[in-house]
Amino acid sequence: MINLRNIWRPETYHGFGKRPPFFEGWYFKMVDAAEQHPYAIIPGVFIGAEWGSSHAFVQTLDGVTGRSTYHRYPFEAFVAAQDRLDIRVGPNRFRRDVISLDIAGAQQTVQGELRFAGGHPWPVTLTSPGIMGWYALVPFMECYHGVLSFDHAISGQLTVDGETLDFSGGRGYIEKDWGQSFPQAWIWMQSNHFGVPGTSLTASVAIIPWLRNSFTGFIAGLWHEGRLYRFATYTGARIERQETTDQSVTLHYVDGGRKGHRLEIVATRAHGGLLHSPERVAMLQRVTESLTATIRVRLVELDSGRVVFEDEGRHAGLEVVGDLPALGASA
């Protein structure tokens, strides 16, 4: 049964009562205190129309080596609470404040528990249920997105193939996606390792199907000193500059009139690993994600020219995928 209240609970599972195709995945990114081990763990579920295609999964990505693994579980191994983030994939459990892993696969073994403290989600209001704004209320979107924690503290260890990785004192980030399929093309980036603790950036541009057409939609959020600076299609912001090369990605967002801000972003690309992502028929290995990119960020007041924030984010997640000319980015 579909729970309409979950529109205002982006962290919860949205697949109850859904027909195929449908996917949902949660993205947990961790970096240890010494900043030697950027790591991502992605649990989720895929519901396909073809017999045998539905399944649950846990993906892992080692940011240093670029090694990724996709651990497939029976669909019946996926269990989710209806009113909060509490999911199980086989013996693995994922909540907002703790994840417990017991992966014993032929490709990889991962055991351990990580606890999370603090953190702020993207604000949810009646008319703007999270990062997607009012688009989250539209029932036919191809893909929905949520930011569950801009930045939080980590304690605990993971043992990966016999090697113990201590994440105590490190920082983490959580987001998620759900819907029918990932977009035709997109740019996504994120970092919460800046000089000012607690500062976090997430930014994306994607082709959004809309009725019988499509448009280029974008979202960027800079969480800095307890304030969220947001730039999005639904806020009336615009992209002033968008350029992609083999070495970097440049995005300049402008929001508001004279009292608004300009957000200037230059991400330096780095090597990554190949992740599975959802299409309507299957989970396909087609997304190269880096966890070792850097992002130069500059936030400027339009009326005064005052620089509100300027710094470089480390251990950045970065994806550049699909038909970039259709996205409006140079290849």
Low-confidence stretches of the chain (pLDDT < 70) are: 1-2, 258, 329-331
Cβ atoms 317, 191 nearer than 8 A: yes
Q: How many CB atoms lie within 10 A of CB 268?
A: 16
pLDDT of residue 326: 83
pLDDT of residue 330: 56
Q: Report the number of distinct structural domains present in the chain.
A: 1
pLDDT of residue 314: 98
pLDDT of residue 256: 76
d(CA 273, CA 291): 9
pLDDT of residue 1: 53
Range of the domain at 80: 4-327
Percent of the chain surpassing pLDDT 90: 93
5 CA to centre of own chain = 22
CATH for 159:
2.40.370.10
Q: CA-CA distances (angstroms) from residue 156 to 83, 99, 100, 202, 220?
A: 26, 10, 10, 25, 31
pLDDT of residue 3: 72
DSSP code of residue 86:
E
Residue type, 104: A
> What is the value of pTM for the model shown?
0.97
Rg (CA), the chain: 19
Q: Over the stretch 276-315, which tens digit does the pLDDT of each residue have? A: 999 999 999 889 999 999 999 999 999 999 999 999 999 9
